[in-house]
Amino acid sequence: MSVLVVQGLSKSFGGVRAVGDVSFAVAPGEMLALIGPNGAGKSTLFNMVGGQLVPDAGSVLLGGVPITGLGPRAIARHGVGRTFQITATFGSMTVRENVQMALLSHKGEVWSFWRPVAGRHAAEADALLAGVGLAAQAERATGVLAYGDLKRLELAIALGNEPRLLLMDEPTAGMAPAERVALMQLTRRLATERGVAVLFTEHDMDVVFDVSDRILVLNRGTLIAEGDGASIRANPAVREIYLGT
């Protein structure tokens, strides 16, 4: 069964149809890229799946259960994780403490700002940090991390929430090309190990072709193509509209 099924999803802002009648499914553990020019409707689509926006029409099913129109917290509890374009961590806390905080929140456990995490879930936090290559940075203040390391921390935190589906909207924005490939290959490896499906947007086509199982192409709010890297590369509509050749 598909982990995510989107059917006829639509959203307009004023007179602008940002997303119109979009349908697709995501298989368990699949790495699915959503590509398209700026303004194509990618973020709007992500926000409807993640619960940040309520669709005008259509439905979203997670593991067969309708989650359409639920809020972000409820959707997260159903197993949808997100990383954001702007990294949301506490800069003065250590890298490990940020992961511990996320684990406490995910498990519904109580914490306070006075003595937030102590040693709670430290081993699980360290395992997550080791997974993203941040073991050596665990004791550092999060605020001093390099940008690429912050992205890895975000990934560790997102995986700590044990999602079935992880939404990543432009996860590699602002990174150098080599770093982009590395982050998405890491994401792919960890997601495969954990059986997490990943729906992500990415402008760098080298990264898209390198790590995706399948690619969806959105243009002016409408899906115009869907397939593996070879079929997308060869698709005349995609070449004309998106790749500009």
Chain residues binding Mg ion by CB under 5 A are 42-43
Q: With respect to Mg ion, which residue has the nearer C-beta, 36 or 131?
A: 36
Q: Which residue has the tokens 């959503």?
A: 34
Using the rule CB under 6 A, give the single segment among 25-33, 34-42, 140-148, 184-192 that binds ligand ADP: 34-42
- The kind and range of the H/E element at 123 are helix 122-131
CB atoms inside a 10 Å sphere around CB 244: 7
Q: With respect to ligand ADP, which residue has the nearer C-beta, 79 or 221?
A: 221
Q: Contacting ligand ADP (CB under 6 A), which of 39, 66, 71, 195?
A: 39
Residue 54 engages ligand ADP in binding (rule: CB under 6 A): no
Q: Which of the choices Mg ion, ligand ADP, none does residue 92 contact, using the CB cut-off of 5 to 8 A by kind?
A: none
CB 199 within 8 A of CB 25: no
Q: How far apart are CB 44 and ligand ADP at their closest, in Å? A: 3
CB 169 within 8 A of CB 42: yes
Q: How far apart are CB 184 and Mg ion at their closest, in Å? A: 17
Q: With respect to Mg ion, which residue has the nearer C-beta, 84 or 90?
A: 84
Amino acid letter, residue 54: V
Residue 13 engages ligand ADP in binding (rule: CB under 6 A): yes
CB 46 within 8 A of CB 218: no
Q: How far apart are CB 46 and ligand ADP at their closest, in Å? A: 8
**Which residues inside 188-227 make contact with ligand ADP, applying CB under 6 A?**
none
Instruction: Classify each residue of 63-81 as buried b or exposed e, where b means 16 or more C-beta atoms within 10 Å of its C-beta.
Output: eeeebbebeeeebbebbbb
Q: Contacting ligand ADP (CB under 6 A), which of 6, 20, 22, 36?
A: 36
For residue 105, report the phi and psi dihedrals to the nearest 5 degrees. Answer: -60, -45
